[in-house]
Amino acid sequence: MKRIVSVLFALVMLLATVGCNSAPATAPNTTPATTAPATVPATTAPEVTLPTFGGADLLLGDVAGWFTAASLEGSNTLVKLYNILADIEAELDVHISTFPVSTDVFSQAQPVLMSGEKYADAVHDYVWTMGDFWMANLLTPVSDLPYVDLTAEWWLDGAMEVTTLNGKTYGVAGDIYPAVEAAYYLFFNKNMAEDLGLPDLYQLVKDGKWTLAEFEKCIKAATRDNGDNVWTMEDTYGFCGPDGTIDQGFFVAAGGSFFENQEDGSVRISVNDADNVALIDKLTAILRDGGYRYNYSGGEDWIWTVQSGFASDKFLFCAHSAMATKWYWPDMSSDFGLIPMSKADENQTEYYSYADHNVFTLYVPIHANKEMAGAFLQTLGKRGHEELMPIFWEDYEMNLLRDEESFENFKMLSSQLRFHHLTTMLGVPNNGLYAGTLSAFINTMATPGSSFSSFYEAGIEVTRITMEELSAYFE
């Protein structure tokens, strides 16, 4: 099989902000775990002997409060993470001080780092916040740290691939905050599917026949006007989801790639390859021009729309990260299921799930205590794998998803995530520009009838410039 490394970097800043930071804090009704296991289960990974640090302070920048007590309510996973941190303090004999960082962490950190002071021993933030540090040469490669075993099973290879340049890996993502949760899926309303007489979607997925053509048949069947010829929330639609990024999700799921890693380590623009262009055209026809999608009106609160529209049987499908099961639909009255975004066609051998810019990454700014940062990351990764993941999976299997088929799909896709690495490199200021343009490639929300070729040409040009700038940074 042709290996396609998706390094698509389209990032919609607005969505990143709204989608993550403003998400409702509604949490499932779960009882926090009370105790951490006293012993760590045996692992098959290579053992690394870690030092202790005599009670030294370890500074951890934490974007979303995942590691802090304030987040404990309602999430067994976060309770576990908190307990893991306490265990690490004991294991390494460190005192961990977490402090809040924002997605604008760079502007906070830069003056400190430029003055030669330590900012943090590690930062946990969205992957796209790495870029400014990277560009300013203010990161210590994780691959240069002692004690960190980057071959360990708890670090995601795909995520490391997109934070690696010239043989140095700058960020890790893995079982500490599972990327699978931030990846994209199709949720479908089972009651609507049944009423419409749709085929068994789970079976189509299992048979490898869940293709864009099948998806189009389903969304076409679901889209109904209530008779007034005006498309509003009074009608029903084939699908809905966050603007822009879900289109990229469909693109990646169907095997598309904006960039490809080359044998020699360089990155090639591949979006203008014939197969990608054909796929973009196909997606545009289905996702935009088909008229099966709920289009937000100006100023609309799309979070509310996604949440309420799917929950109240307005959309057959909603494309979203798995977090929607926590935030939006814990109490949805209609039943729902989780399936992959469609394959391009039956020739595509695997389903993919696009792990977007909201994947969390750990990175280490310069002036960190390298010994401590390395030991910390190693311990965190290992404990995350052994102690946190079982709870994470259990939560999805028992509480958040509604049936075993959904859970099987979720597990399957956890090993078929696709990352894209220019998000990592570009950083906040550049992202606004490049993301906007790249979104335009496949922003099927764009006005129907507008010139897709003009988006495409603009996108190619900006992509070319981006690549030139990046090469200049990393020569």
Interface residues with Ca ion (CB under 5 A) are 225-226, 228, 230, 235
Looking at the Cβ atoms of 294 and 410, the one nearer to Ca ion is: 294
- Give min distance, CB of 227 to Ca ion, in A: 7
Looking at the Cβ atoms of 314 and 420, the one nearer to Ca ion is: 314
- Which residues, including other chains, have CB under 8 Å from residue 372's CB and lie 6 or more apart? 53, 56, 58, 92, 94, 121
- Give min distance, CB of 226 to Ca ion, in A: 4
Helix 245-253 × helix 274-283 angle, to 10°: 130
Contact by Cβ (8 Å): 226, 214: no
Looking at the Cβ atoms of 53 and 231, the one nearer to Ca ion is: 231
Looking at the Cβ atoms of 228 and 331, the one nearer to Ca ion is: 228
- Give min distance, CB of 223 to Ca ion, in A: 11
- Give min distance, CB of 300 to Ca ion, in A: 16
- Give min distance, CB of 314 to Ca ion, in A: 11
Looking at the Cβ atoms of 17 and 232, the one nearer to Ca ion is: 232
- Give min distance, CB of 301 to Ca ion, in A: 20
Q: What counts of helices (H) and strands (E) characterise the chain?
A: 18, 16
Q: Give the residue from 419, 451, 449, 424 showing the smallest Cα distance to 435.
A: 424
Contact by Cβ (8 Å): 143, 172: no
Looking at the Cβ atoms of 42 and 230, the one nearer to Ca ion is: 230
- Give min distance, CB of 239 to Ca ion, in A: 17
Looking at the Cβ atoms of 267 and 316, the one nearer to Ca ion is: 316
* CA distance to 35, 146, 163, per residue, from 82 (Å): 11, 24, 26
Beta bridge partners of 186: 319, 339
Distance CA 304, CA 296 (A): 11
* CA distance to 172, 246, 254, 301, 328, per residue, from 332 (Å): 35, 22, 29, 19, 8
- Give min distance, CB of 80 to Ca ion, in A: 47
Q: Tokens for 251, please give them.
A: 């693109």
Looking at the Cβ atoms of 143 and 295, the one nearer to Ca ion is: 295
Helices (H), 9-120: 13-16, 76-92, 105-114
* CA distance to 86, 130, 173, per residue, from 134 (Å): 30, 6, 16
